[in-house]
Structure 1
């Protein structure tokens, strides 16, 4: 039973230990940055504010065990994160906000550059945004005459292995935006970025429709797990 002398409840050793652990982790982060923290410790750190009264270490370790890696834990769908014991809606918001911030950071860099001169930045952004998505999505980067980014739009979201693509709608949108070039992008949730016959056929349809209308298809990128392929690199465009 807690001691209520002088009107104050005595703090339990468990709470004191938790506060001490959190402060030690904060001190180490301030001194060494993220390099001084293991993946589970960085996840703990992210969850501190969202779960102020819980021990976040077992939750962080459960996230890594379930999803396999730090990036996969951040990119996991809300429905799957809810299956992890101890995670609240607010803590899930925190993880997903961090993932969104990473994608936003890469996008901000792209907006100030010519995309074709910053290809590594383009693929970094696309990997961060799409490689761990559990559903296949098809997006288009619309470029101006100087290869600057006009818009990045998700055109369709499908299932784990299929996304319907409407080539004429892609080109109609390019004309609406006064875009003279586009980069097609989609992900393979299986992790293997190898293009299918349907991927190749769809790309050629878009190229055939775009060319007479003055819209160039610079590339089609398929995002896999920690890898990607370029149709131009494979000489498929």
Structure 2
């Protein structure tokens, strides 16, 4: 019997490998190529999410998983803002994949914070709003944070002061002011989220902000704004003439 040639061996091996490839292998290659050649604007949201899931799910078709995530959480922001526990409710998403998705949210927040630290906040207000939306819009509990600024309105510190329930966060004005003095801050921006999605301030929000402003005034510390973040928008006390 004649031995097969080297060419025949390679050809046969290639055919067997191709036959054994999962159906989505070619799709992954094409999607990566389209991203490289045409950029992210050429991809739908679920395709961007697919690309991110390729590494976390190397042996699974990621398209149905990506579409299921977007259906459940509504948007890319909703997906990355969802808790790890809620992410694992989606078929195909285990703890390790949920951690990968939360890592991308942490990276986006870290990049946003770095951008804020490079210039005065009042001259980059859209960056402030983007950062707050990234870090807080999809939190399932109310979170109250303070941006502490120096005399040039540059960020000294960004600190979460309190975590609350789905509709309430206890805020202690004197603790906020005490921390501002410890950091030698000369201005503050207050931020909290409304998990309900509606950013309209409550009377309790208005009263609390007034108490903080009252304590800050004799100390020559400015309160630039109090921003409430919702899933689909924000409210600014300054813009609403509440400050």
Shared topology, TM-score over 0.5? yes
Does 2:197 correspond to 1:167? no
SS at match of 1:194: coil
Deviation at 1:12, TM superposition (A): 7.5
Q: Which residue is 2:152 aligned to?
A: 146
**Alpha-carbon spacing, 1:217–1:14, altered in 2? closer, same or farther (3 Å):** farther
- Give the unaligned 5+ runs of structure 1: none
- TM value normalised by structure 2: 0.90
Matches within 5 A, 1:2-151: 10-11=16-17, 13=19, 15-151=21-157
Query: What is the CA–CA distance in structure 2 between the aligned matches of 1:187 and 1:14, rounded to whole Å?
Result: 50
220-229 vs 138-147, which moves further: 220-229
1:73-108 deviation digits (Å, cap 9, x = unpaired): 111100101111111222212211111122222211
Query: What is the CA–CA distance in structure 2 between the aligned matches of 1:44 and 1:14, rounded to whole Å?
Result: 22
- Give the unaligned 5+ runs of structure 2: 1-8
Query: What is the CA–CA distance in structure 1 between the aligned matches of 2:19 and 2:227, rounded to whole Å?
Result: 55
- TM value normalised by structure 1: 0.92
Choose which of 180, 186, 189 in structure 2 pairs with 1:183: 189
Query: What is the CA–CA distance in structure 1 between the aligned matches of 2:139 and 2:95, rounded to whole Å?
Result: 20
1:181-228 deviation digits (Å, cap 9, x = unpaired): 111010111111111000000001111111122222111111112311
Does 2:194 correspond to 1:197? no
Q: Determine if contact 1:184/1:219 at 8 Å carries over to the other structure.
A: yes
Following superposition, which runs of at least 4 residues in structure 1 exceed 6 angstroms of deviation? none
Q: Determine if contact 1:167/1:205 at 8 Å carries over to the other structure.
A: yes
Q: Which residue is 1:227 aligned to?
A: 233
Larger-Rg structure? 2
Deviation at 1:40, TM superposition (A): 1.1
May I ask how many residue pairs the two structures share in their alignment?
A: 232
Q: Which residue is 2:5 aligned to?
A: none
SS at match of 1:128: helix
Query: What is the CA–CA distance in structure 1 between the aligned matches of 2:96 and 2:179, rounded to whole Å?
Result: 37
